[in-house]
């Protein structure tokens, strides 16, 4: 340690200072890297879309089999401007976000109880595993019968589909704390609640956000499947209607909207993860 300290002091006296990762040059490098990545992504996806357009035109593929990207773009404008897709988008978002919120709260509470109380793990967790082994799509018709064809059944299905990934990741997070740190908390006579908040909850966040990304996608899937089975609004309902009309370009347009929902949601969760787990990169 003395040698390292002496070397650091001599380097400082010689006018040499350590490089800082948070300086303006580092910020410029990050911006350039982000710009280069963005340009690369746009170029790759633009090339794929261009190849799709050229192949469809060259092979004269019928519209009812595979529409060209230009036709999908026109259909996207049409369904929003003339066919009320904004209403369907709103319905799906409400169903998905409500189901995700229910699944998140219930999964975190269940995971905390399972990890804190062994009796809960022995009694409750096996039942949850058995329930998870039953495909949710198989019980979806029963949910429609029990709850009805309204928005409540779609919220329930979205919550059920998203629940187990959130539960498993939350349990992994609560169990991923440092055992040496736990011994330190015990030596300081910290209570169970303080240990849970200051140690286990902190370790819980990275795994929770990983589960939230999966749960978000599953909640969207559950809402869409519920709309397939019976509804008068929603993106799933719009897909079914366009399928009956053989409007394949319209179906692709709705798929583009679903892809945007998935991408934006994943980026928002990633942003929240960065905001609340920045401490992982600190020493």
The pLDDT, as a whole number, for residue 1 is 42
Q: Tell me how far apart the alpha carbons of residues 125 and 123 are, in angstroms, rounded to a whole number.
A: 6
The pLDDT, as a whole number, for residue 224 is 92
Q: Tell me how far apart the alpha carbons of residues 236 and 49 are, in angstroms, rounded to a whole number.
A: 25
The pLDDT, as a whole number, for residue 217 is 93
In three-state secondary structure terms, 124 is helix
The pLDDT, as a whole number, for residue 4 is 44
Domain 97-281 grouped into CATH 3.40.50.1820: no
How much is the CA Rg of the chain, to the nearest whole Å?
A: 26
- This prediction has a pTM of 0.78
- Maximum pairwise Cα distance, the chain: 79
The pLDDT, as a whole number, for residue 5 is 45
Domain ranges of the chain: 97-281
Report CA 276 to chain centroid distance, whole Å.
16
Question: In which element (H, E) is residue 158 found?
Answer: helix 151-174
Q: What is the pLDDT along the chain (283 residues), one digit of tens a residue?
A: 444 444 444 444 444 444 444 556 777 777 787 787 878 888 888 888 888 889 888 888 888 888 888 888 888 888 887 767 888 899 999 999 999 999 999 999 998 888 878 888 888 888 888 887 888 778 888 888 888 888 898 999 999 999 999 998 988 887 766 666 666 666 766 666 666 666 667 777 888 898 999 999 999 999 999 898 888 888 998 899 888 888 888 899 999 999 999 999 999 998 988 887 765 544 3
Q: Tell me how far apart the alpha carbons of residues 279 and 212 are, in angstroms, rounded to a whole number.
A: 19
Provide the phi-psi class of 178: left if phi over 0, else alpha when psi is between -120 and 50, else beta: beta
The CB density around residue 171, as the number of other CB atoms within 10 Å, is 22
Helical pair 235-244 and 248-276, crossing angle rounded to 10 deg: 160
In three-state secondary structure terms, 117 is coil
The pLDDT, as a whole number, for residue 18 is 46
Q: Tell me how far apart the alpha carbons of residues 206 and 170 are, in angstroms, rounded to a whole number.
A: 9
Q: Which residue has the tokens 């070397």?
A: 7
């Amino acid at each position: 340690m003395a040698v390292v300290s002496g070397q650091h002091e001599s380097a400082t006296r010689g006018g040499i200072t350590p490089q800082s990762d948070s300086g303006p040059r580092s910020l410029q490098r990050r911006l350039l890297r982000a710009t280069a990545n963005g340009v690369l992504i746009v170029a790759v996806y633009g090339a794929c879309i261009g190849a799709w357009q050229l192949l469809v035109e060259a092979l004269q593929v019928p519209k009812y089999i595979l529409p060209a990207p230009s036709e999908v773009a026109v259909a996207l404008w049409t369904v929003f401007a003339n066919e009320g897709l904004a209403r369907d988008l709103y319905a799906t978002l409400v169903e998905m976000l409500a189901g995700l919120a229910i699944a998140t709260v219930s999964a975190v509470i269940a995971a905390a109880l399972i990890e804190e109380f062994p009796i809960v793990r022995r009694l409750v967790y096996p039942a949850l595993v058995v329930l998870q082994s039953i495909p949710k799509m198989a019980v979806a018709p029963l949910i429609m019968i029990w709850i009805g064809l309204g928005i409540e059944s779609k919220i329930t299905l979205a919550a059920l589909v998203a629940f187990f990934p959130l539960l498993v990741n939350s349990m992994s997070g609560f169990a991923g704390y440092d055992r040496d740190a736990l011994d330190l908390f015990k030596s300081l006579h910290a209570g169970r609640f303080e240990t849970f908040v200051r140690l286990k909850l902190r370790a819980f966040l990275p795994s929770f956000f990983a589960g939230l990304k999966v749960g978000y996608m599953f909640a969207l899937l559950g809402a869409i499947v519920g709309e397939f089975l019976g509804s008068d609004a929603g993106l799933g309902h719009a897909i079914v209607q366009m399928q009956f009309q053989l409007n394949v370009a319209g179906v692709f347009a709705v798929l583009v909207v679903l892809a945007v929902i998935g991408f934006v949601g994943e980026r928002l969760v990633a942003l929240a993860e960065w905001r609340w787990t920045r401490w992982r990169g600190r020493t």
